[in-house]
Structure 1
Amino acid sequence: MNSESTSDVLVQYVVVRRDLIDTWPLGSVVTQGCHASIAAIWSHKDDPHTATEMRVW
């Protein structure tokens, strides 16, 4: 990839609270993070930027 094409890439970060990792089973925390990630994408599914990045859908 050249630097021009990388400026158009959308990135989604999933941040997990440390206290949840320390008190809940890791699989449960990861599952909830995945659900939140997909919910954010779904909430913005009609946005043209999201549609471009999720063109495989």
Structure 2
Amino acid sequence: MSPEPTSVQRLFVRQKLTAMVNRYAVHAVDDAGGEGPLIAFAQQKGSSASP
């Protein structure tokens, strides 16, 4: 049986954009209001469109 999902009220989302890849890291907020554990990560191929 799967564990019950945990509710998170606040999140930190960090975005890093480069020419080749866009990366996003989602962290829970810890009890002190700081960045807590990583809970999600996404990576998107960068845009190759010419100006």
- TM category, shorter: under 0.3
Specify which structure has the higher proportion of helix: 1
Specify which structure has the higher proportion of strand: 2
TM-score by length of 2: 0.23
TM-score by length of 1: 0.22
